[in-house]
Chain A
Amino acid sequence: MNAAARPTPAPGPAAPALAWRDAAVGYGDHAVLHGVDLTICPGEFVGLVGANGAGKSTLLRAVTGEAVLLGGSLDVCGVPADELSAPQRARLVGVVPQALPELFSFSAREFVLMGRHAHLGRFERADAQHAAVADRAMELTDTGRLANERVDTLSGGDLQRLTLAQALAQEPHVLLLDEPTSHLDLNHRVQVLDLVSELADGGMAVLGVFHDLDLAARYSDRLAVIADGGIAASGPPREVITSTMLRDVFAVRAVVGTDAISGGVTVTPVIRESVGVAQATGPEVFVIGGSGAAADLIRRLALAGFRVSTGALNMGDTDQAVADVLGLQRVDLAPFEEMDESDERRVGELAARADVRVVCDVPFGRSNVGNLRAVVKAGGPLVLVGEVSGERDFAGGEGLALLERAVALGATTVRDVAEALGAIEQLAPAATREEPRAR
């Protein structure tokens, strides 16, 4: 039967592009995902995130028929997925897979024209109209100049953009992306995702699997998190990407911030959950930091199995964010709040309890000099990072005086974080140390 002669179900304006309802999806008779409820409307860009092997690609494969729907329903443009013939589906759904197998030496142009297959009758040749669609797809993906190159000689990035062009040549209503930018350089990554965003604005429904959470958050209207055999969370990126979600789904303690330029969500992983920060039994190290001066040291101490506590830090400060995701004992201040006596007393208690104290290379002013006062008063082994000079003193001489006093009392001075780690290892009482945990 002539494939092109079959009518493609007309996607009604009301019909969602993709709709899983209580769907179970898997292979053979084994369900990988259960109870999936997810609806993607024309014009929406939805990102799928989740750990490796969670079933993100399986969800996409349910649309293309490579995975089996074992329960519930899946509608593509208002038609049950299993009622679509292969060519009908190819006229509705375009896919950009992660990678293609070994390729034969077709020209890039022939390769993109292959996307027209489902629109052509059995013996029909691709005429000027079909060629124009392919050319437009190549123009959009910036692959026009490759037209006469052989695909088996191209780089992974060129091939990935050509594969997108091939999918666009299908003129699909739905675009499925499986790690669409894994082989792309920075420039083309932005270009491809900007293009896909534009297509979504033009009414295409886009569902993309992403490993890069920053990119996923920046481009998606909504994110769906796949975990524990189902959709664990779904909603606007800022609501979905939280340090709790990152810990539960990816087993990573990470700081969630805001991108200064785009205003999007940024994810900075700090430490893997399996390091077991909460169960650390090593010597306790007390750290005075601020403005990110201590973030790296804190992270590396935690990795090495030390218990870590910190002095007073303002909320919103980088060091505070790191201490927060690691669940460290510390004294929190409101943004721009100065330390008062009770804060200083609590800092003193933490400092006195620790086996080793570290003062990172931070300037001291009226708001935080209390940290320094408390740590010098606490006594015991102390490591000072950075130069002891008046340049760090914004507290009318008290900061410098305290630093000099600490040196006089026998504090170890080191230049940077790496040396500080060495000094701490030496000062930490051997009896309380244990082997660093597996990273």
Chain B
Amino acid sequence: MSPTKTFGLLALALVVALVAGVAFGAVAVSPVEIFGAIGRAVAGAERSSADAIVIDVRLPRVLLAALVGACLASAGVLYQALFRNALADPYILGISSGAGLGAVLVLAATTGATAMRYGAVPAGAFAGAAATMALVVRLASFRGRLDTTSLLLAGIAISYTLAALTSFVMVFAREQMSAVVFWMMGGLTSASWEYVAAVTPMFVLGMVVPVASTRALNLMLLGDERAGQLGVPVERFKLIVLAAGSLLVAAAVSVSGLIGFVGLMTPHMVRLVLGPDHRTLVPASVLAGAVLMVLADLVARTVLAPVEIPVGIVTALAGGPFFVWLLVRQELGR
């Protein structure tokens, strides 16, 4: 499929998914009503209760889902280029464990003040993620060089340590166990315009790197040494890529917990269709990640309504078999 055609289809899919995401739920809203509600909100007219569902509940939720999906998919693109491995996951360096520990610490510390959690949990998760990445990069840097193997090993070591600490904290905050577990499973239940406003600038900032260095990302696929020979300042570039990827993951994780497989699957699927060129891979992955996430969240909200499943379960249930399929395909291809 040509890149232009793919972009067109993905953009269309995103619009359809967003509209569907707003339309379906406990109360169904028709597309006409949706656009009417948006029009009235923009015009500042008085809102009906149906308008409130659209504007205050569903719209921020689907937009946040789209942002989180786009963040995770772009981070996946960056990590996969950095590790020169189409199966690298944005959580591979322990950022998820760091965010988890941050969130759990906040949850344990705010047992008496649950109202505070709305802002404090994302902040704690983001701080945990950022601190983890700084630590992993520091550990893996040797004589001014960032070795990707050391990076992986440091990431795994830190990841296990932080996971153990998280479990340790949970032992002492047993009454918070369900809140913690629910957070870890990933979900968009607390979506709000404030969250959208918090994530958007981080998404924009993080996207500067993949958008502005598509060619350099292509060169990184030829290996650090070759990329350097062809004019990429490799060591600096790796740090920048890592920082941007981590910012995108941290932004997503802080508002939605640990949603697996989107960051891994999306770039991989796009690559199967469009090839490895980042000039098309980056924009297509952003769109595809957003579509996947909005749809996954829609499924999570509606399939067992009124019970809402954490969206992380939906993505993992879809992602696991997808990976098995990839594996089988690869084996058969041999």
Q: Are B275 and A3 neighbours in the complex by a CB distance under 8 Å?
A: no
Q: Are A97 and B225 neighbours in the complex by a CB distance under 8 Å?
A: yes
Shortest A342–chain B CB gap in Å is: 64
Shortest A3–chain B CB gap in Å is: 7
Q: Are A103 and B222 neighbours in the complex by a CB distance under 8 Å?
A: yes
A-B contact number at CB 8 A: 71
Q: Are A106 and B218 neighbours in the complex by a CB distance under 8 Å?
A: yes
A110 with B277, Cβ < 8 A, contacts A86-B228, A117-B230, A118-B231 known: yes
Q: Are A104 and B221 neighbours in the complex by a CB distance under 8 Å?
A: yes
**What total of chain A residues lie within 8 Å of the partner, measured CB to CB?**
33
From 99 to 148 in chain A, residues with beta carbon under 8 angstroms from any chain B beta carbon are 100-106, 110, 114-115, 117-118, 120, 122-123
Q: Are B230 and A170 neighbours in the complex by a CB distance under 8 Å?
A: yes
A90 with B229, Cβ < 8 A, contacts A101-B223, A104-B276 known: yes
B316: Cβ under 8 A from any A Cβ: no
Q: Please tell me which one of the listed residues B84, B228, B231, B276 contacts residue A106 in the complex, with CB atoms under 8 A apart.
A: B276
A123 with B212, Cβ < 8 A, contacts A90-B230, A114-B222, A117-B219 known: yes
B154: Cβ under 8 A from any A Cβ: no
In the complex formed, the residue of A with least CB distance to B84 is A101
Q: Are A86 and B276 neighbours in the complex by a CB distance under 8 Å?
A: no
For the complex, what is the distance from the CA of A94 to the CA of B230, rounded to whole Å?
8
Per DSSP, chain B at the interface is loop
A181: Cβ under 8 A from any B Cβ: no
For the complex, what is the distance from the CA of A115 to the CA of B219, rounded to whole Å?
9
Q: Which of chain A's residues have a CB closer than 8 A to the CB of B230?
A: 90, 114-115, 117-118, 166, 170
For the complex, what is the distance from the CA of A314 to the CA of B143, rounded to whole Å?
61
Q: Are B219 and A106 neighbours in the complex by a CB distance under 8 Å?
A: no
Q: Which of chain A's residues have a CB closer than 8 A to the CB of B223?
A: 100-101
Shortest A404–chain B CB gap in Å is: 68
Q: Which of chain B's residues have a CB closer than 8 A to the CB of A28?
A: 143
B31: Cβ under 8 A from any A Cβ: no
Shortest B4–chain A CB gap in Å is: 15
B174: Cβ under 8 A from any A Cβ: no
B234: Cβ under 8 A from any A Cβ: yes
In the complex formed, the residue of B with least CB distance to A152 is B276
Q: Please tell me which one of the listed residues A66, A90, A110 contacts residue B231 in the complex, with CB atoms under 8 A apart.
A: A90
A379: Cβ under 8 A from any B Cβ: no
B47: Cβ under 8 A from any A Cβ: no
Shortest A12–chain B CB gap in Å is: 22
Shortest B275–chain A CB gap in Å is: 6
Shortest B213–chain A CB gap in Å is: 8
A65: Cβ under 8 A from any B Cβ: yes
Q: Are A64 and B232 neighbours in the complex by a CB distance under 8 Å?
A: no
Q: What does the 1/0 interface line of A24-42 toward B look like (CB < 8 Å)?
A: 0000100000000000000
The 10 A-B residue pairs whose C-beta atoms are closest, nearest first, are: A90-B231, A118-B231, A104-B276, A86-B233, A87-B231, A95-B229, A101-B223, A104-B221, A117-B231, A117-B230
Q: Can you name 23 A-B pairs with beta carbons within 8 Å?
A: A86-B228, A86-B233, A87-B231, A90-B229, A90-B230, A90-B231, A93-B229, A97-B226, A97-B229, A101-B222, A102-B84, A103-B221, A104-B275, A104-B276, A106-B221, A110-B218, A117-B215, A117-B216, A117-B219, A118-B230, A122-B212, A166-B230, A167-B229
CB within 8 Å of A: which residues of B? 84, 86, 143, 212-213, 215-216, 218-219, 221-223, 225-226, 228-234, 275-277
Known: A115-B230, A120-B215. 11 other contacts (CB 8 A): A64-B229, A86-B233, A90-B231, A93-B229, A100-B222, A101-B223, A106-B277, A117-B216, A117-B232, A122-B212, A170-B230
